[in-house]
Amino acid sequence: MFDVQEIRSQFSILNETVNGKPLVYLDNAATSQKPNSVLEIWKKYYQEINANVHRGIHTLSQLATEEMELSRRKIQKFINAKHDFEVIFTRGTTEGINLIAYILTAKLKKDDEIIISYLEHHSNIVPWQMLCERTGAKLRVIPMDENGVLQLDFLDQFLSEKTKVVSVNQVSNALGVVNPIEEIISKTRAQSDAYIVIDGAQSVPHFTVDVQKMDCDFFVFSGHKMYAPMGTGILYGKQEILEALPPFHGGGEMIAVCSFEKTTYAGLPFKYEAGTPNVGGNIALGAATDFILNIGQQNIQNHENALLEYAQRKLLELDGLKVYAEKAHRTGVVSFNLEGVGISSDVGMILDKMGVAVRTGHHCTQPIMEFFNIAGTVRASFAVYNTFEEIDLLVEGVKKAQRMLA
């Protein structure tokens, strides 16, 4: 049985008060809260086995190494990668995309093309712009319609022998729109030999991801949005691709042999993991996958979809409120504005006084905001521990904001 109250009991922070009110945390698309099981694993590493990994024969180093490599195997299973060495630890989605954009530099030349979409986070725009500046390649953008749905006819028009990279998110952080990744990948495979990069930062917390079934070349996500510590993340890449491309950072751990004359690089995954890793965080990321799988990904998806449907219905009962991408297939997010209120942060501050935490602003998606001719939105985003009662408190707060800002 799915028991949201039992789940909530595993998050100590949900007992906190904000401005004298019980905390209602609806900013999960920015970062999720962390269950006690994850925090305890992180704390245990530092209290009991703190040591550097892969470099020592002493007992603590061996224990730390075993725990971090166990975590890698958990994540391999979590996303169904073929090999554990295809799972690269990073600091998050942003570093993962920057890593890919850097190691692909030699694969692009002047007038080659990179395709992204209008729904991207800045982290899936700027690294590709920088790659274009380095190589002379051109950026092409799949447009969206007024419902936040990508117009894939343009992808058909864009794809050609010039296409070297297609990089899109699986779920929009600003609107919650779920993109048709399978169709995008199928079209790309049929019409080009481009590298396919999928930003999964907003998908892995909400539903099952299978990178082999998806057949992407790269998949990136962040730990802190899926109940793990900040500063953790994963880059998945197909073995043959990662082996053929150059490393990103140079330093310790990523070498096989180093001399002043020549350095040879270590095999996967260490080729892409230069320097001392975030060992405690990486171990805790594995614990976060345990937390998700113990609840059941389908249970999480069902609960969060019900929350989204309820939140949208209750909000749309209010006069003078607009929900963006209202008719699109979405998960985890409802993004809205009050008519006549030009600054979304005003609504956010009123909600905060009531203990309700939401995100306001452009959500690092300024092109989306420009499309709708707005400065930003109020974004409520959901996790497995949120309740319908919390959504009722959100709606009451929005009503109060309407009265105060009228």
Q: Which residues are catalytic?
A: 364
- CA distances in angstroms from 60 to 57, 82, 203, 236, listed in the order given: 8, 29, 35, 28
CB neighbour list of residue 34: distance below 8 Å, 6 or more residues apart: 11, 13, 227, 228, 229, 288
- CA distances in angstroms from 87 to 61, 73, 182, 194, listed in the order given: 21, 8, 21, 21
DSSP code of 6? H
- CA distances in angstroms from 22 to 25, 279, 387, listed in the order given: 9, 34, 13
Instruction: Report the Cα–Cα distance between both ends of the chain, in Å, rounded.
Output: 44
Contact at 8 Å (CB) between 346 and 267? no
Helix (H, G, I), strand (E, B) or coil at 17: strand
CA distance 400 to 378: 15
Helix (H) / strand (E) containing 395: helix 388-405
Query: Cα torsion at 171, 176, 179, 182 (round to 10°)?
Result: 50
DSSP per-residue codes, 18-73:
ETTEE-EE-BTTT-----HHHHHHHHHIIIII---SSS--SHHHHHHHHHHHHHHH
For residue 114, the Cα-to-chain-centroid distance in whole angstroms is 21
What are 334's strand-pairing partners? 380
Residue identified by tokens 């890793």 is 277
Phi, psi values for residue 367, rounded to 5°? -60, -35
Contact at 8 Å (CB) between 151 and 176? no
